[in-house]
């Protein structure tokens, strides 16, 4: 029996010039493309003449099983997700299905993850350099994760002063989650903290709003929006959102000289700083 191939492919934000060369090659080689109907539409020009399985929202398990079954039969199958398939994508579900049927490495199908540009990365690129220091992603969808767990994660990230990217922040029926997230954040960082709302990054009808914690709920936030919330160190410069890495603590930016008491290649000596910044709550 011919071994099939199962590629789990991230197509990035959707713009063809932001799809990786490896993903483009896989889409060309695949016999069957499986994906959410919106993602199939995004790459429709690249997959003309291919067999396709397209389904709607909440039908992920059906897509995963159909892809695995076809690949086990010997077909070359590409399961596509926007962004990266391993980040809130189909990757984890495919492996859960494979585990359930007892698939082992070396058996059919051969499985490969093909990475893509995440929504967090693509949205961040449109607003500056907000991810210059430690950051995290949190999905506000409680369809599969208990809200109590999500709220604990928001509290932890807010108190640790992470830059936070919120996925699935709201929908027509679900608004309270982003409101509660903002309440928690305001307990740990000022109302003036920069926030960017990016809708449909690198797609048709792309929208970008620069705002702050105080005013963020005055704008439309939906399922196609990624919400980027800065840390207490994030600032705006020339319309960009920037989170510094901390070079100014150790070096002179004018000439790159190391500051008095600091040593290149060694831990930052905080005793030499005029003010040790501790924005988080102990």
pLDDT band at 281; cut points 50, 70, 90:
very low
Reported CATH class of domain 5-117: alpha beta
Q: Which token pair is 119?
A: 């929504």
Q: Which token pair is 45?
A: 């020009």
Decide: pTM greater than 0.85.
yes
Share of the chain above pLDDT 90, in %: 86
> Counting Cβ atoms within 10 Å, is residue 18 exposed (0-12), middle (13-18) or buried (19+)?
middle
Domain borders along the chain are: 5-117, 120-242
Q: Measure the CA angle with vertex 123, ends 121 and 127; round to 5°.
A: 110
Coil, strand or helix: which one is 194? strand
**For 102-135, how does the pLDDT look when each residue is reduced to its tens digit (9 = 90+)?**
999 999 999 999 999 999 999 999 999 999 999 9
Q: Which residues contact 50 (CB under 8 A, 6 or more apart)?
A: 30, 31, 32, 33
Rounded CA separation 146/245 (Å) = 34
In the predicted model, what is the mean pLDDT of residues 269-277? 66
Q: Which residues contact 246 (CB under 8 A, 6 or more apart)?
A: 133, 268
**For 175-213, how does the pLDDT look when each residue is reduced to its tens digit (9 = 90+)?**
899 999 999 999 999 999 999 999 999 998 999 999 999
Cβ atoms of 157 and 137 closer than 8 Å: no
- The yes-or-no verdict on residue 1 having pLDDT over 80 is no
Q: What is the DSSP letter of 275?
A: S
Q: How many CB atoms lie within 10 A of CB 254?
A: 6
| Of residues 31, 27, 33, the one with CA closest to residue 46 | 27
Coil, strand or helix: which one is 79? strand
- Mean residue pLDDT of the chain comes to 93
pLDDT score for 231: 97
- What is the CATH code for 120-242? 3.30.950.10
**For 148-164, how does the pLDDT look when each residue is reduced to its tens digit (9 = 90+)?**
999 999 999 999 999 99
pLDDT band at 173; cut points 50, 70, 90:
confident
Name residue, tokens 């010997």: 74
Q: Which token pair is 41?
A: 């539409």
Q: Which token pair is 242?
A: 């920037």
Q: Which token pair is 125?
A: 């690129």
Q: What are phi and psi of 235, to 5 degrees?
A: -140, 170
């Amino acid at each position: 029996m011919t071994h099939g191939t199962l590629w789990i492919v991230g197509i990035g934000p959707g713009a063809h010039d932001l799809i990786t060369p490896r993903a483009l090659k896989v889409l060309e080689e695949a016999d069957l493309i499986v994906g959410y109907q919106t993602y199939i539409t995004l790459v429709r020009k690249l997959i003309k003449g291919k067999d396709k399985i397209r389904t709607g929202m909440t039908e992920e398990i059906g897509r995963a099983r159909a892809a695995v079954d076809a690949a086990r039969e010997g077909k070359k199958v590409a399961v596509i997700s926007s962004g990266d398939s391993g980040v809130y994508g189909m990757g984890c579900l495919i492996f859960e299905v494979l585990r359930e049927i007892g698939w082992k490495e070396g058996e059919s199908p051969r499985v490969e993850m093909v990475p893509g540009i995440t929504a967090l990365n693509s949205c961040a690129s449109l607003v500056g350099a907000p991810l210059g220091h430690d950051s995290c992603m949190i999905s506000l969808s409680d369809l599969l994760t208990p809200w109590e767990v999500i709220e604990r994660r928001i509290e932890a990230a807010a108190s640790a002063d992470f830059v936070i990217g919120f996925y699935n922040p709201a929908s027509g029926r679900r608004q309270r989650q982003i409101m509660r997230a903002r309440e928690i954040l305001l307990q740990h960082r000022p109302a003036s903290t920069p926030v960017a709302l990016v809708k449909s990054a690198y797609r048709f009808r792309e929208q970008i709003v620069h705002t702050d914690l105080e005013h963020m709920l005055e704008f439309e936030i939906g399922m196609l929006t990624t919400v980027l919330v800065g840390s207490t160190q994030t600032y705006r410069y020339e319309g960009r959102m920037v989170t510094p890495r901390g070079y100014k603590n150790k070096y002179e930016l004018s000439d790159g000289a190391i500051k008095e008491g600091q040593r290149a290649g060694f831990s930052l000596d905080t005793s030499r700083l005029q003010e040790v910044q501790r924005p988080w709550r102990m």
